[in-house]
Homo-oligomer: A and B are copies of this chain.
Amino acid sequence: MPALDKILQAADENIPAALERLFDLLRIESISTDSAYASECVKAADWLVADLQSMGFAATRRDTSGHPMVVAHTGGTGRHMLFYGHYDVQPVDPLNLWDRAPFDSVIEDTPKGRVIRARGASDDKGQLMTFIEACRVWKSVTGELPGNITILFEGEEESGSPSLIPFLKDNADELRADFALVCDTGLWDADTPTISTMLRGMVTEDFTITAANKDLHSGAYGGPAINPIRVLTRILGTLHDDQGRVTLPGFYEGVPDISADIKAQWDALNFDVETFLGEVDLTTPAGEQGYTPLEQIWARPSCDINGIWGGYTGEGFKTVLPSQASAKVSFRLVGDQDPVAIDVAFRKYITDNLPLDCRVDFRESDGARATNLPVDAPEFTQARQALNDEWPNPAIFAGCGGSIPIVGHFQSILGMDSILIGFALDDDQIHSPNEKYALRSFEKGIRSWIRVLGALT
């Protein structure tokens, strides 16, 4: 495809101007969690609308009860793709840990190569600009914007996306596409592009066990009076067996084996467990036996006690025999595990194991199924091939240990699957001081989108 080569060449020549535009966007302090920066969020949205309009998009700012959305259409025909990114950024504190002003971006030389240093460089302004710049050079070379593309930029991703669900529902017909392209994830490593195709789901539980109607003194009651902390530890202490498997009845229903193809891809990554765990001072994978650590994170369910509390927890000692003990427990789900069934099984497990005189109160629980994207669809094959053509190593279909809410919302509200492609690196320090985006991520990100657009539109 000679046109593609021309577009890629134009992309390389476009980089200095593209960086100037990215720096302009990075200078806008669009922190969504702090209402003092609300006008900066509007400014970022307006900047994006103006930029998209300047290259021919039908772009509008769409106000919400929170920060505005930006929606833009190429108006072309063919396979309809929705591109998603977010223009809001995390707060910058602690400011004293930044080596330079967080919104005053420059290119820095580092031992690992040149980087764009700024809040939002990687999460997500740098990433969303890779797509905008891809569209721009596409237009400049071909005279037309690529195919049938809708763009959706959100300004509340870092603050819980309160306006997102209503906006998707209110504008479903406009936004529904054949696939979404979501650019908010990372590369496996600097040479290996990644399409995240399995995202773990979740069930959260939050409960309190109550025994006596008040705190007692262990001198007066220690022995005959049941201690709810003891009950809680006994119940939670048996929630895993010696093989690291969750003992909840029925928990593994719907947990699939991964395919030989995926397993081969993952094994070929030579995941460096030693470094992964070593960075947090651990040495030994502690998860479900019989599975590699990567499988444990990406393809196996897990259960963690995220919080526990009861009795006296201050300085010194009080021999209180407490009335209550509480815990927060969460399950990460894969495959077809049913969050409702697991919620029911967990509550039954706790209730069935309560001794006399104890009761349990469950606070609101929450759940979401795992997301399994259709890797056998031609769009996935085409996108993967496009990435293979750009990067040194072939692209992998990866798992993701946590959920990415936007993917679930696109599925449940718009009936649309997402292709998750991003160019962030593990050391980008997103949400932390000195956030950066590799210049190479920006350059090859633009080239990657040109290739993906060539393959999908």
A→B interface (CB under 8 Å)? 200, 202, 204, 206, 211-214, 216-227, 229-230, 232-240, 273, 276-277, 280-288, 293, 296-297, 300, 302-313, 317-322, 325-326, 328, 330, 332, 355-357, 366, 400-403
Contacts of A212 in B (CB 8 A): 280-282
The residues of B that contact A239 with a CB separation of less than 8 Å are 230
B317 touches A330 (CB 8 A): yes
Given known A-B contacts A218-B330, A220-B402, A402-B217, A226 and B286 have beta carbons under 8 A apart: yes
Which residues on the B side are within 8 Å of A286 (C-beta)? 224-227, 355-357
List the 6 shortest-distance A-B pairs measured between CB atoms, nearest first: A219-B402, A237-B237, A223-B296, A223-B287, A307-B311, A226-B286
Q: A223 contacts which of B227, B297, B305 (Cβ < 8 Å)?
A: B297
Shortest C-beta distance, A301 to chain B (Å), equals: 8
Residue of B nearest to A359 (CB): B281
Which residues of chain B come closer than 8 Å to A236, judged between CB atoms? 229-230, 233, 237
How many angstroms from the CA of A297 to the CA of B357 in the assembled complex? 19
Is the contact region of chain A dominated by helix, strand, or loop, or is it mixed?
A: mixed
Number of copies: 2
* Cα distance A293–B225 in the bound complex, in angstroms: 9
| Contact yes or no, B293 A318, CB < 8 A | no
Distance, CA A306 to CA B325, complexed state (A): 10
Sample of 18 further A-B pairs with CB below 8 A, known A217-B402, A223-B332: A204-B319, A211-B282, A213-B281, A219-B400, A223-B302, A225-B280, A227-B304, A229-B308, A230-B304, A232-B308, A282-B357, A283-B356, A286-B355, A305-B311, A307-B312, A307-B318, A308-B310, A308-B313
| Shortest Cβ distance from A286 into B: residue | B226
A317/B281 in contact, CB under 8 A: no
18 contacts between A and B (CB under 8 A): A200-B219, A204-B317, A206-B317, A211-B282, A218-B304, A218-B330, A220-B401, A220-B402, A221-B280, A223-B287, A223-B401, A232-B233, A282-B357, A306-B318, A307-B310, A307-B320, A309-B313, A312-B328
